[in-house]
Chain A
Amino acid sequence: MEAVSRKTITVGVNGEQYEREVDARRLLIHFIRDDLDLTGSHIGCDTGNCGACSVLLDGTLVKSCMMLAVQADGAKIETVEGLASEGELNGLQQAFSDHHALQCGYCTPGMLMSATALLRENSSPSEEEIRKAIQGNICRCTGYVNIVEAIKAAAQ
């Protein structure tokens, strides 16, 4: 095995297989947004604090700006685009709308992925558990009040 600066990788995103050649230095978020044109996941910082780029990698919640695309070779990725089926919002998405848990909507995709990860592990989280689950997702519009309410409602 030798180290390479460019590599062909295969990833599954929302059930679709993609094979692309990428620079080793390319961040996973840029691969998803720019190379695959899946622009639902966002970038809100450059230090891994804001969580707008959160995706599920083999079922685990990660920030896609904190890893390289080549690290995801062979992985299955879930992004916000995979939550609804055929245009029908899932329960969590609907709860976000019902409870006005989004204003500008920029943090929303990452927030939804964090909430998805939480609810898969814990179907009836407490308010404290919800806040802890989204502590890595910054929202500058809502003060989190309605986001917490929406996740509570979706859990029920």
Chain B
Amino acid sequence: MLLREVEYARPASVQEALRLLGANDGARALAGGQTLINVMKARAASPDVLVDLADIGELRGIELGSDGTLEIGAMTTYSDIIGSAEARARPILGEVCNQIADVQVRNRGTMGGNVCSNDPTNHLPPLLVAIGATMTIVGQNGERSVPAEEFFLGVYMTAVGPGELLTKIFVPPGKGDGFASVPIGKDGTCIVNVAASLDGGAPRLAIGCVDAVPVLLRPDSAEDDAVRAAVRSANLDPPWDVHASADYRRHLAEVLALRAVAQAAGRT
């Protein structure tokens, strides 16, 4: 419960935030804090400086472009997504956000925080990979765009480098999506989760909790046999932990892949 000493700043602009992040190697961006504060409570991580992004208005908000693309600010909370009329352009977003943790966490936890922490059991990394989202990263040297499938690099590691910020997530239009998971109990940590999207040609499947990053699969078709074959040929080597063996996770990956695809197929 008791954090190590830390310095704190709450800048009002992205530029100011970048300056603060760049000024200290031990600085970290603080979004909703629903992961980071916990990690600091356990003293598993102890940044020297927290750069609170709460006052940066440009990082918040959901806009629906004329082509149907959603532009989501990194500081947009799960509750914002759930309650947003615009976000319903891609219904799976609100549905999955509504499965994350609980009301309190959804009220403060952010899209950007979820993907930047890249806990392998999080919901959004596989979802954003499956639906082909694109991330905008800003640094001192300007802005770049990274597809979700290249964004996640390892446990708690992403393409956002030191001194950089994730500012926006772009989600293309679509509705043929599915999400299936086995959590602990009704709403605990995911043991395995799978997101599927059948929009935009070949199916895209992303499996979470089985590797350091979501495992993207592209079965030949949405038929059961094709999906099953894709999962098997991925030769998943999931981690063992207190909640599940590697075998069980491997098995669930296949079952949940079929279920996520079936749900997606029902919506195309």
Q: Check A-B contact in the complex, CB < 8 A.
A: yes
Chain A residues within 8 Å of B, Cβ to Cβ: 1-5, 7, 23-25, 27, 30, 43, 46-48, 51, 54, 60-63, 65-68, 70-71, 73, 114, 117, 132-133, 135-137
A46–B1 alpha-carbon span in the complex (Å): 5
Q: Are B107 and A60 in contact, with the CB atoms below 8 A?
A: yes
**What residue in chain A is nearest B9 (Cβ atoms)?**
A3
A117–B106 alpha-carbon span in the complex (Å): 13
Q: B45: CB under 8 A from chain A?
A: no
Q: Are A24 and B108 in contact, with the CB atoms below 8 A?
A: no
Minimum CB–CB distance from B153 to chain A (whole Å) comes to 26
Within 8 Å by CB of B7, from A4, A67, A135, lies: A4
A51–B254 alpha-carbon span in the complex (Å): 35
Q: B255: CB under 8 A from chain A?
A: no
Q: Are B5 and A61 in contact, with the CB atoms below 8 A?
A: no
Across the interface, which residues of A come within 8 angstroms of B141, CB to CB? none
Q: Are B105 and A136 in contact, with the CB atoms below 8 A?
A: yes
**What residue in chain A is nearest B79 (Cβ atoms)?**
A60
Q: Given A71-B52, A136-B103, answer yes or no on A24-B6 (Cβ-Cβ < 8 Å).
A: yes
Q: B261: CB under 8 A from chain A?
A: no
Q: Are B50 and A66 in contact, with the CB atoms below 8 A?
A: no
Across the interface, which residues of A come within 8 angstroms of B2, CB to CB? 25
A5–B108 alpha-carbon span in the complex (Å): 23
Q: Are B102 and A135 in contact, with the CB atoms below 8 A?
A: yes
**What residue in chain A is nearest B37 (Cβ atoms)?**
A66
**What residue in chain B is nearest A67 (Cβ atoms)?**
B33
A114–B102 alpha-carbon span in the complex (Å): 11
Within 8 Å by CB of B20, from A3, A27, A47, A51, lies: A3
Interface residues as binary, B12-55 with A (CB distance below 8 Å gives 1, 0 otherwise): 00001000100010010010011001101110000001111010
A120–B51 alpha-carbon span in the complex (Å): 33
Across the interface, which residues of B come within 8 angstroms of A60, CB to CB? 79, 107-108
**What residue in chain A is nearest B12 (Cβ atoms)?**
A1
**What residue in chain A is nearest B106 (Cβ atoms)?**
A136
**What residue in chain A is nearest B101 (Cβ atoms)?**
A136
A117–B104 alpha-carbon span in the complex (Å): 10
Q: List 26 A-B contacts (CB under 8 A).
A: A3-B8, A3-B27, A3-B50, A4-B8, A5-B5, A24-B6, A24-B7, A24-B50, A27-B37, A27-B41, A46-B1, A60-B79, A60-B107, A62-B104, A62-B107, A63-B105, A63-B108, A65-B1, A66-B38, A66-B108, A68-B8, A68-B33, A68-B37, A70-B10, A133-B103, A135-B103
Among B4, B38, B103, max chain A CB count under 10 A is at B103
Q: Are A67 and B108 in contact, with the CB atoms below 8 A?
A: yes
Q: Are A1 and B7 in contact, with the CB atoms below 8 A?
A: no
A48–B104 alpha-carbon span in the complex (Å): 9
Across the interface, which residues of B come within 8 angstroms of A70, CB to CB? 8, 10, 52
Q: Are B33 and A66 in contact, with the CB atoms below 8 A?
A: yes
A62–B33 alpha-carbon span in the complex (Å): 11
Q: Are A25 and B5 in contact, with the CB atoms below 8 A?
A: yes
A43–B34 alpha-carbon span in the complex (Å): 16
Across the interface, which residues of A come within 8 angstroms of B27, CB to CB? 3
**What residue in chain B is nearest A132 (Cβ atoms)?**
B103
